[in-house]
Structure 1
Amino acid sequence: MAPAGTTKAIDLSHHLNRLSLSRVASPLKDIIKYMHEPGMISLAGGLPNPTLFPFGEIKAKVYAPETDLRSSEEPSSPIEFSIPKNASSSHKNTLSAALQYGSSYGSASLSSFIREFTSHVMTPGYSDFEILLHSGNTDAWNKVVNILCEFGDYILVEEHTYPSSQALWAPMGCKGVPIPIDKDGLIPEALELVLKNWDQTFPGIKRPHLLYLVPVGHNPTGATLTLERKKAIYKICVEYDIIICEDDPYYFLQFPPYVLQSQRTQEESRTASSDIPIEHPNSSSELDGQAYVDSLIPTFLSLDVQGRVIRLDTFSKTLGPGNRLGYFVCNPLFAERILRATEVTTQAPSGLSQALIEELLISWGQDGYLRWLSGLRDSYTTRRDWMCDLIAKNFDLVSPANIVDDVVAVQKGHGSTKDAVPYFSLSFPKGGMFVWIKLYLPSTSTYQNMKVTSPSNEKATAKWAEAFWMDLIKEKVLLTPGSYYTPIIGNGINERMPQESDVIFFRLAFSFETREEMKVGIERMANVFERWWT
């Protein structure tokens, strides 16, 4: 096992907001603590009697960790386990405990498994990190904001940012500070420039002290930060005393680079034309657990020797979002303040979810969980390839000129002509669940007409985007408008970062639909593009 860092987290208490500093421990939790002393007869706690819970036993049938998730056949050798109502010498995970009030830390056994996993896979750069369960990363981000941010604070965010993360702090009058990103994620030089010039750009306003980002398979752009950029960003955050919130739900879905069909080997081309998944280098069939870990880009947490990274991990993308279960990895100060807030708000995550996930992970073991994650990565890699292949089949993809993305899509059959009109550009994602496309509007007559009748380019762009999106919907293909991810930069959700002139964005997800459904959807999308650009 790779050791955690040997230094302890530094004192970062000056980052706590007034609300967090004013919280005290819930006195009811002290009662629960004393209830477990040997010989104690408790007439204090208002705990329901577990004999009256209606669940006697829960049995589950789960996949083996080495299951080939790309196969359409039902796994033939499932693992079965049960969770009894009461404890025995061989079984400590019980429904009596899972369905009862408990510590806001969550299950001690599950937390211990996660701590061992984190030490091995994430290798935190300091020794006294803590694990605290939460109810998913949105719940976790809410708690981060509520211990660190005052009303009206500025928060550093990527220039395309997950909408719910913004809607959460907008009522506090907080404002986003958009930092440019590209296909390799947030640009360190852009972050440094904003912080260096803060006092000149925003005189008299407190400099931001919190950076929120999604470093792998970024939602919505699919960008993945390189290790070199992570190191540069961490160094800048140390220099300017910034706390990093590493919201990383897609960390285990890191892909090998996408290769166009025309550039693949004969065998790769054959499998790409069928439902047989392409065997990439580093696929799970070739990797053991440690090799899979070594193939992942290290986290911000692994670089953190001061305790200034609050990492948000979740089982939503690996074991199912309905579990509503994830965990913080952070320094003891932040964990204690988050715990105080948790005691009087959400309390612990669902006990049933904790019990099921605990039993599943213990059944698999540490290496089994890694094999599961490796197979999951392979399955989503196949789905990424399906979507990129279908885009390449329905559009001509050409090398961009003065465009930072990997390719530009033009009308099918026109890729070799000098006057080919660009529809959109894209970068092939190296992680996550999304393809992000950037549409170029000046060559469409409908857009030019709207510009004539609209008071501004921004109004014309928004009007065109709405009309185009509705036409996609009429064609029965649904994409997510890029405008949803525009950072809020003022008071109220309607004061957002100005849009880039003459372009719009859409997000395509390859996570859910079948290959055949993707095929039909991309064909319908191509039909709409052809109508609007001719």
Structure 2
Amino acid sequence: MTPPATVEDVAVHGLTDTIGVTIPNPLTCEDVPNRRAKAGKLNGGVAAATNSEFFKAPAPHKPLAIRLDHRMSQEAKLRKSTVLKSLAKHMATPGMISLGGGLPSSEYFPFESMDIKVPAVGKFLEEETKTTGKTMHLGKHDVKEGKSAYDLSIALNYGQASGSAQMVRWVTEHTEIVHNPPYRDWACTLSAGSTSSLEMVYRMFLEKGDFVISEEYTFATAVETSHPLGCKFVGVKMDSEGMIAEALDELLENWDVATRGARKPFLLYTVPTGQNPTGSTQGRERRQQIYKVAQKHDLILIEDEPYYFLQMQPYTGPGAEPAPLPKNHDEFLKSLVPSLLSMDVDGRVIRLDSFSKVLAPGSRCGWVVASAQVCERLQRHGEVSTQHAAGFSQVILHRLLDEEWGHGGYLDWLVNLRVQYTTRRDALMKACDDHLPKEVATWTPPAAGMFHWINLDVSKHPEFGKKSVAEIEQAVFRTSVASGVLVTPGSYFMADQENELEKVFFRATFAAAEFDTMSEAIRRFGLAIRKVFGLPQ
């Protein structure tokens, strides 16, 4: 018998020693219209029941996901489908007249239409949008009038916890284009943002007293979200590529239940690309190593990826010409570090995807990609909490991403972001090179994301050994604030806040500040470091 599929498998996949099937080529942006035409009319009415299976390519060659029943919390196991939401499946019956639901009539929605100006494909700069931008008109009854697949009468009514059929279709196609998960029963479900999804995932798998594994420095909100559940974080050592797989394996191999007072952890939270706060990015090999450790110890991986599409051009040094951009969509997608999702042959990765860093944080609309089993549990949770992502956000995003830009136009937008963030990153790197005291400050230029992690050699402080590392960190922080620059102390991001601080890091972001103010901010930060460390000004 041939081994199970892996991401390295190519055109033909063996089912037995003598039988094989041809694997279809991955979905491309150009393939989407033909697939939709073959699928027929979209059932996208008010509160239409939907799931990713309606929109994926058949994949009989792929394995099914492993079952995660043994990992689910008692709370997750108790969740049932809400009886009122279950009525939606009957609405697909032709000629059905509904007197059963509690849906208000769109006649009483005080929103007849919306006009929103957006960039034209290829002309994404703010100044270009003012002159060449396209005004999208969203009417209340566009579907009935044959003008669109989605309108305000549908979007502003109650919906399913999965999200609208229109947006589930789009994110499913996008996921297949970019990641093409190598198991069969993956699914997408919309969310009210990744923080909400994360809290749901914690509650799906954790019991009081459990530990969550993460990088030793991690997103502070991810840690804080676990605390009311009675859970803690345990950090894994990092290097310039983020979490070290060998350190993860060692932590799990040597887990002592009696000493830790908790069962061996199995839920791992990671930000693989442009990690918050360190800016580190796990390369392909590192991700493969972490996934193998996850298989060995039966871990569930939460892949939180708001910065995935903020992968930048390689840093070429101060004043150097930037590396050439990808020439087309295929080159762009191949230039991205493969996601953990794209390596996941078991269905043990729960990917949190987001529009927050690439379109607008205030949309509060993202999506989760995971096994159908996990997505179904998330939907049961959503039915009695968030209900669904906001209708305003869904209809605006659909009109922009699907009907205005299309999948190809969205990739063009992401390439544009690569240019903008590369330019910002390079400006901050130059400022650091010009103004930070290299006697004590070191850094690795980030390959992705929004953050720059600066290491200060605390052993070179004149009172090292007399003052604690935490006191030295706070001295730099207070002096920086007094100097008119705000940078974030690394201690804020420690996975285990009970550990004693041993190193001094600061996080700076290059996402929003103007270029000249970025340079001035780093100049002020450099002066603050010199003052605290007793270096010449």
- TM-score class, shorter-chain normalisation, is 0.7 to 0.9
Q: Does 1:336 align with 2:380?
A: no
Q: Which residue, 143, 150, 154 being the options, matches 2:211?
A: 154
Q: 1:25 to 1:138 in 2, by over 3 A?
A: same
Cα RMSD for the two superposed structures: 1.9
Q: Which residue of structure 2 aligns with residue 306 of structure 1?
A: 346
Describe the superposition over 1:418-439 as per-residue Cα deviations: whole angstroms up to 9, x where unpaired. xxxx322111100000100111
Aligned pairs for 1:340-359 (under 5 A) are: 340-359=380-399
Aligned pairs for 1:14-33 (under 5 A) are: 14-33=70-89
Deviation at 1:68, TM superposition (A): 5.0
Q: Which residue of structure 2 aligns with residue 371 of structure 1?
A: 412
Task: Give yes or no for contact 2:291–2:340 (8 Å, CA) kept in 1.
Answer: yes
Point out the more displaced range, 474-483 or 212-221.
474-483
Q: Which residue of structure 2 aligns with residue 385 of structure 1?
A: 426
Q: Which residue of structure 2 aligns with residue 62 of structure 1?
A: 118
Q: Does 1:98 align with 2:155?
A: yes
TM-score computed with the length of structure 1 as normaliser: 0.85
Letter in 2 for 1:481: P
TM-score computed with the length of structure 2 as normaliser: 0.85
Q: Which residue of structure 2 aligns with residue 427 of structure 1?
A: 444
Describe the superposition over 1:475-520 as per-residue Cα deviations: whole angstroms up to 9, x where unpaired. 11000111110113xxxxxx523321xx311100000001011011
Q: Secondary structure at the match of 2:104?
A: coil
Q: Secondary structure at the match of 1:225?
A: coil
Q: 1:116 to 1:255 in 2, by over 3 A?
A: same
Q: Does 1:113 align with 2:170?
A: yes
Letter in 2 for 1:287: K
Task: Give yes or no for contact 2:119–2:134 (8 Å, CA) kept in 1.
Answer: yes
Q: Which residue of structure 1 aligns with residue 488 of structure 2?
A: 480
Point out the more displaced range, 211-220 or 71-80.
71-80
Alpha-carbon distance in 2 for matches of 1:443, 1:364: 53
Deviation at 1:220, TM superposition (A): 0.2
Q: Which residue of structure 2 aligns with residue 127 of structure 1?
A: 184
Q: Secondary structure at the match of 1:130?
A: strand
Task: Give yes or no for contact 1:325–1:353 (8 Å, CA) kept in 2.
Answer: yes
Alpha-carbon distance in 2 for matches of 1:194, 1:442: 28
Q: Secondary structure at the match of 2:67?
A: coil
Aligned pairs for 1:62-461 (under 5 A) are: 62-69=118-125, 74=129, 76-86=131-141, 87=143, 88-199=145-256, 202=259, 205-261=262-318, 264=320, 268=321, 279-281=322-324, 283=325, 286-362=326-402, 363-395=404-436, 409-410=437-438, 422-445=439-462, 447-448=463-464, 452=466, 460-461=468-469
Letter in 2 for 1:137: S
Deviation at 1:75, TM superposition (A): 5.5
Task: Give yes or no for contact 1:13–1:333 (8 Å, CA) kept in 2.
Answer: no
Alpha-carbon distance in 1 for matches of 2:262, 2:274: 33
Structure 2 unaligned runs (5+)? 1-24, 28-58
Q: Which residue of structure 1 aligns with residue 46 of structure 2?
A: none
Q: 1:499 to 1:218 in 2, by over 3 A?
A: same
Q: Which residue, 109, 119, 125 being the options, matches 1:53?
A: 109
Deviation at 1:197, TM superposition (A): 1.3
Q: Moved runs in structure 1, 4+ residues, more than 4 A? A: 71-75, 200-204
Alpha-carbon distance in 1 for matches of 2:247, 2:110: 57
Task: Give yes or no for contact 1:155–1:175 (8 Å, CA) kept in 2.
Answer: yes
Alpha-carbon distance in 2 for matches of 1:119, 1:150: 33
Deviation at 1:72, TM superposition (A): 6.0
Alpha-carbon distance in 2 for matches of 1:45, 1:109: 21
Alpha-carbon distance in 1 for matches of 2:183, 2:120: 34
Task: Give yes or no for contact 2:318–2:426 (8 Å, CA) kept in 1.
Answer: no
Alpha-carbon distance in 2 for matches of 1:74, 1:120: 27
Deviation at 1:76, TM superposition (A): 3.6
Higher RCO (CA-CA < 8 Å; seq separation 6+):
1
Deviation at 1:204, TM superposition (A): 7.1
Deviation at 1:443, TM superposition (A): 2.8
Q: Secondary structure at the match of 1:96?
A: helix
Alpha-carbon distance in 2 for matches of 1:68, 1:103: 33
Point out the more displaced range, 253-262 or 297-306.
253-262
Task: Give yes or no for contact 1:15–1:148 (8 Å, CA) kept in 2.
Answer: yes
Structure 1 unaligned runs (5+)? 269-278, 396-408, 411-421, 489-494
Task: Give yes or no for contact 1:215–1:247 (8 Å, CA) kept in 2.
Answer: yes
Deviation at 1:109, TM superposition (A): 1.3
Task: Give yes or no for contact 1:221–1:436 (8 Å, CA) kept in 2.
Answer: yes
Task: Give yes or no for contact 2:318–2:429 (8 Å, CA) kept in 1.
Answer: no
Deviation at 1:2, TM superposition (A): 1.0
Alpha-carbon distance in 2 for matches of 1:325, 1:385: 30
Q: 1:369 to 1:14 in 2, by over 3 A?
A: same
Task: Give yes or no for contact 1:67–1:375 (8 Å, CA) kept in 2.
Answer: no
Task: Give yes or no for contact 1:257–1:428 (8 Å, CA) kept in 2.
Answer: no
